[in-house]
Chains A and B, each alone.
Chain A
Amino acid sequence: MKRTLVLLFTLVAFASLITAAEIKLDVKEHVLSNGMKILMVQKPGVPRVVCHIYYKVGSINEHPGITGLAHLHEHMMFKGTEMMGVTDYEKDDAINKKIDELINKIYREKFWKADGGEKEKIAQWQKEYDELVKAEKQYIIKDDLWTLYMKNGGTGLNASTGNETTGYYVTLPSNKVELQMLLESDRMLNAYFREFYSEKDVVMEERRLSENRPGFLFNEQVDAAFYAASPYHWSVLGWMDDLQKVTKADLIDFHNRFYVPNNAVAIYVGDLDPQNIIQMAEKYFGRIPKGPDMEPIRTYEPPQYSEKRMYGEGPAPTSLQMMFHTPQEGHPDVPALSILADVLGSGGGGGRGRFRGRERGGTGRLYKTLVEEKQMAVSVSARSRSQWYVGAFQFNATPRIDKNIQPEDLEKEIWVEIEKIMKEGVTSEEIQRAKNRFEATFIRSLASTRGLARRVGAAELHRGWRSILTDFDDIKNVTNDDIIRVTAEYFVKDNSLTAIYRRKMSRQRGRIQ
């Protein structure tokens, strides 16, 4: 875990006030000499500061064999450092090394041999492992960092991993931001991964929780089919096989590669003094050596060439999904696709996961036609989601099974609406409504300190935080011609996946892992 120390400190702080329409977003920026960015938004009010750190790493930085590792690593970041979570670092380290050796032997026996290895041997090693784990307990201070944050009034305490980013969150009283600086810089620099194997069990339980949500397993397959080549193919949770077999060496390698200051952004929002934050950041994060430059992912999604269709059945409601490949965020076609999604699918309900819509209401075209007028659907929604390297436009619909409507009937109806737009476009009122909604939603999003931190911090990692404002300007310039053009361009069968799912009540699950 050695890194080169860069001794040059530069102090470049400047305020940047950018206005989109009447919206002001006053983000102050500072870059440390090791490349780490510090962003600050002053928001007077209660004496608290939202403190978030975002790393440019997520499940897209994994590969088969280590899927789920970005998320597992995020869990492991709470297991201490050389200073935190341990009473005697040397003694604990000695036991931990023995534990790793034993587990490596077990994994080689169990996972490398085709017949699953010799049971007795494994059982003997497992026994030795259990004893070492017991012996290690005396040196471990459980959840030391978490407790310290809570004792100091930390709220919103959490971490999350996505396809592209990983974030670590705490909100502290405004006089205690230094605690976050100390603890976060310490775990970036000195993370020490104890209790790895029991934490793998926790993450597998987390995956099982998802598996027990009706429809999850089908949707995971739908995504895997839709994203054939790019690393969006697997979910953030990863495949169970990889969770079982991933090693400590994989984890350390992952940490050293991605948890470097030049791959991180710290953002502070609340009742703060920027100069004070900068001074503390220089002290704590400034001491961490810069890491190597990061190469972006290589494999984008190749063209699909032919239509994909998937059928499944299980314990979730009968539903239809239609997905189309669209460009990545920042592409000039994305704003028109966003407006189109709003015109078609506003308030339609339904959806799943990141595409989940609002539960009811709805003035979108699809809701009006299919739910209200034709009474063929319980819910229908449209979403445009562009990510860093891929994009998807997705329709979700639930048919009126009481009227014997089938998902295929809704599929036909949605195509009718798409073709109508290809010919005539949409009305100027619909476009204006969508633009108004984007503006108001944007302003509302600025009200939440945590939401603001999340949005600005994550945007900074890829196209810079100002992209939030330029994206918003681009939305305002969308015309009907743009909408007609993108509809013709992307709503093509060969660019689509249609997934049809039917409820089947008595379903036997496969082998329990």
Chain B
Amino acid sequence: MLAICILCVSAGLTQVQKPSDLKFPPLKYDPPNPRDFRTEFASGLRGYIQEDHSLPLFNISAIINFGDLYVPRDKQGLDSVMSETLIDGGTKTKEGTVIKERIEFLGGSLSFRADERTSTLSLSILSKDADEGLDIFFDVLMNPEFREAPLNLAKVRLIQRLRQANDQPSEILSREYERLIYGDHPLTWQPDKTTYESIAGADLKAIHAQYFFPKNIILAASGDFNKSKLKAKIDKIVANWQNKKVTIPSFSKKFPEPEPGVYFIQKSINQGYISLGHLGIEETNPDYFAVQVMNFVLGGGSFTSRIVTKVRSDEGLAYNTGSRFRYHWGYPGTFSGYVQTKSSTVGYAISLIIKEFNRIRKEPVSDDEMETAINYYLESFSNSFESPQATMSTFANLEMTGKPMDYYNTYRDKIKSVTKANVQKVANKYIRPDKAAIMIVGDFEPCNKGEDQWPGPLDKLGKVHMVKLKDPMTGKEMK
């Protein structure tokens, strides 16, 4: 090592020896301001538009305030059927196959997906075909026809997919964990064969009529175009598009508190898939920023975080472990510690995670941990604005969910102002090991037996409830 350094110096090429010797030139970054891109179109349609001439591409998305949460119980799965048929079902003047073939011939991509409370129709096409693409895009958005043949095909394929609902342990865990925390609520309702079969073209058209109108949609567009010309074109297309009265359903925010303890789902696999925790917070909660920093230290900051260091790095118990706060627009999200580990170390891994839950409540985090977490959020901030299209979508979502327009402008200051005391306070408030439900998908016998470091049984962690899976086809408990 030494010889090499001397030679390098003599060649006039010095390099620093350790990271702390590095001196970085200053870098100032101001995030883009949503107001610079906000555009109001005819009929009250809104959008965020950015010219970007780096590649000959045109990208546009429509974000619609509609999602599976708004679907009535007896029509569960309607959002999935709509995802499959908004394009494939054609429009008033064109069959779905004609639309798909044309888009594919142009090398474009047109897709639609319905999520929890928003849906997105997206088009990406070469800018030379932008006009034709734009016409197809709005035809699909405004005039879908949900023709019978593609509708029936979509239902058959979705019903077939239902059969796979209990195949993947990770899928079972995330679905059943939410069911445990939210109970019987629109957030956890699932489609079955009957609800899929009951969905008719008329249902889809009714839902489309109810939610797809200009004032309930925000556009995001970027690419190689002239903004004012694009605006003129869109204005012309949507000029006669009628608005409706917004009727967004509201639902209870009261959720049952599941009894703390173990909730076990039997599956013959060689690992246990585990989530443990309880209800989380809403994104609009003023403690949000402190919670982000706290969870970064606890288990959200990948290898820098305590749970990953302990469970993965120190003990080699898992490939995938950590903690997370999940968010739902308008509802408190969930908090969970998670790990997948071989059956015999399930109890041990859980005990280590609970220890970390308790530690972050009892002891203040270290200066180093604070510095790493806060610097990460500050220094990586510009990453969110790397892609113009993603940035426009981010701004559209900001407006859709009613967050303040200066959200990103004030973001770094809010992160900077989080203190060690805040972190400990929110840890005590939002992490409650005494209320944690521990859900395990795995093979009961070896999980329950444990091993030397943590011999079972699992009821040392609390009362063990055996959870029966539902038959995805009928929605009834399996025998």
B367 at the interface (CB under 8 A from A): no
Flag B378-403 by CB within 8 Å of A: 1 or 0 each: 11111101110000000000000000
B-binding segment of A51-59, A325-333, A439-447, A480-488: A439-447
- What total of A-B pairs shows CB separation below 8 Å? 235
Given A448-B387, A509-B269; A443-B57 close (CB under 8 Å): yes
Residues 32-85 of B contacting A (Cβ, < 8 Å): 54-57, 84
Query: Which residue of A48, A178, A206, A507 contacts B382 across the interface (Cβ within 8 Å)?
Result: A48
Flag if A205 contacts B342 (CB, 8 Å): yes
B-binding segment of A61-69, A278-286, A384-392: A278-286
Flag if A436 contacts B29 (CB, 8 Å): no
Given A5-B7, A361-B88, A443-B55; A208-B270 close (CB under 8 Å): yes
B477 at the interface (CB under 8 A from A): no
Q: Please, how many angstroms separate the alpha-carbon atoms of A469 and B12 in the complex?
A: 39
Residues of B within 8 A of A198 (CB): 313-316
Flag if B97 contacts A439 (CB, 8 Å): no
Q: Please, how many angstroms separate the alpha-carbon atoms of A347 and B99 in the complex?
A: 14
Flag if A507 contacts B105 (CB, 8 Å): no
B304 at the interface (CB under 8 A from A): yes
Flag if B163 contacts A154 (CB, 8 Å): no
Chain A residue with the shortest CB-CB distance to B85: A360
Given A83-B18, A371-B153, A512-B343; A437-B107 close (CB under 8 Å): yes
Residues of A within 8 A of B157 (CB): 360, 378-379
Flag if B303 contacts A143 (CB, 8 Å): yes
A-binding segment of B20-28, B175-183, B199-207, B355-363: B20-28
A287 at the interface (CB under 8 A from B): yes
Flag if A512 contacts B160 (CB, 8 Å): no
Flag if A155 contacts B383 (CB, 8 Å): yes
Given A142-B309, A378-B156; A150-B105 close (CB under 8 Å): no
Question: Nearest Cβ in chain A — how far from B306, in angstroms?
Answer: 10
A-binding segment of B243-251, B369-377, B426-434: B369-377
Q: Please, how many angstroms separate the alpha-carbon atoms of A154 and B372 in the complex?
A: 11
Q: Please, how many angstroms separate the alpha-carbon atoms of A443 and B341 in the complex?
A: 42
A-binding segment of B164-172, B228-236, B282-290, B322-330: B164-172
Question: Nearest Cβ in chain A — how far from B388, in angstroms?
Answer: 8
B17 at the interface (CB under 8 A from A): yes
Flag if A347 contacts B104 (CB, 8 Å): yes
Identify the interface centre among B16, B126, B167: most chain A CB within 10 Å of its CB: B167
Flag if A286 contacts B24 (CB, 8 Å): no
Q: Please, how many angstroms separate the alpha-carbon atoms of A433 and B315 in the complex?
A: 53
Q: Please, how many angstroms separate the alpha-carbon atoms of A229 and B104 in the complex?
A: 39
Residues of B within 8 A of A203 (CB): 319
Q: Please, how many angstroms separate the alpha-carbon atoms of A45 and B157 in the complex?
A: 43
Q: Please, how many angstroms separate the alpha-carbon atoms of A205 and B316 in the complex?
A: 8
Residues 351-398 of A contacting B (Cβ, < 8 Å): 360-363, 368, 371-372, 375, 378-379, 398
Question: Nearest Cβ in chain B — how far from A232, in angstroms?
Answer: 24
Given A173-B379, A509-B270; A9-B84 close (CB under 8 Å): no
Given A143-B309, A150-B301; A46-B319 close (CB under 8 Å): no
Flag if B126 contacts A195 (CB, 8 Å): no
Flag if A151 contacts B376 (CB, 8 Å): yes
Query: Which residue of A5, A153, A438 contacts B4 across the interface (Cβ within 8 Å)?
Result: A5
Chain A residue with the shortest CB-CB distance to B23: A178
Residues of B within 8 A of A360 (CB): 84, 88, 157
Q: Please, how many angstroms separate the alpha-carbon atoms of A9 and B13 in the complex?
A: 10
Flag if A178 contacts B24 (CB, 8 Å): yes
Given A47-B382, A143-B309, A447-B57; A512-B342 close (CB under 8 Å): yes
Flag A1-45 by CB within 8 Å of B: 1 or 0 each: 000010101000000000000100000000000000000000101
Given A48-B383, A173-B379, A363-B100; A436-B313 close (CB under 8 Å): no
Q: Please, how many angstroms separate the alpha-carbon atoms of A8 and B181 in the complex?
A: 65
Chain A interface residue count, Cβ-Cβ cutoff 8 angstroms? 97
Question: Nearest Cβ in chain B — how far from A453, in angstroms?
Answer: 13
Flag if B26 contacts A175 (CB, 8 Å): yes
Question: Nearest Cβ in chain A — how far from B200, in angstroms?
Answer: 19
Question: Nearest Cβ in chain A — how far from B165, in angstroms?
Answer: 11
A171 at the interface (CB under 8 A from B): yes
A254 at the interface (CB under 8 A from B): no
Question: Mind listing 22 A-B residue pairs with CB under 8 Å?
Answer: A46-B382, A48-B383, A151-B304, A153-B378, A153-B380, A154-B380, A173-B382, A175-B27, A198-B313, A202-B319, A214-B167, A282-B13, A317-B160, A375-B153, A398-B160, A400-B160, A402-B159, A433-B104, A436-B107, A439-B107, A447-B387, A508-B268
Residues of A within 8 A of B (CB): 5, 7, 9, 22, 43, 45-48, 78, 82-84, 137, 142-143, 146-148, 150-155, 157, 171, 173-176, 178-179, 182-183, 190, 195, 197-203, 205-206, 208-209, 211-214, 282-284, 286-287, 315-317, 346-347, 360-363, 368, 371-372, 375, 378-379, 398, 400-402, 429, 432-433, 436-441, 443-444, 446-449, 503, 507-509, 512-513
Residues of B within 8 A of A (CB): 1, 3-4, 7-8, 11, 13-19, 22, 24-27, 29, 54-57, 84, 87-88, 97, 100-101, 104-109, 111, 124-126, 149, 153, 156-157, 159-161, 163-164, 167-169, 268-271, 273, 301-304, 308-309, 312-320, 340-343, 371-372, 375-376, 378-383, 385-387, 443, 446
- Shortest beta-carbon contacts, A-B, top 7: A153-B379, A440-B107, A201-B316, A198-B316, A143-B303, A206-B319, A436-B107
